[in-house]
Amino acid sequence: MSILPRCRDMTALITEDAEGALEGVSKVQFALHLSICTPCQRMREQLRTTAALLRTLPKQPEPPRASDVDAIMKRLAAAHGNEGDDEPD
The residue ranges that bind Zn ion (CB under 5 A) are 7, 37, 40
**Identity of residue 36:** I
Least distance (Å) between residue 3 CB and Zn ion:
13
Least distance (Å) between residue 40 CB and Zn ion:
3
Q: How far apart are the first and last CA of the chain?
A: 83
Cβ nearer to Zn ion, comparing 22 with 40: 40
24 conformational bin, left if phi > 0, alpha if psi -120 to 50, beta if neither: left
Least distance (Å) between residue 52 CB and Zn ion:
22
Number of separate helices (H) and strands (E) present in the chain: 4, 0
Cβ nearer to Zn ion, comparing 39 with 84: 39
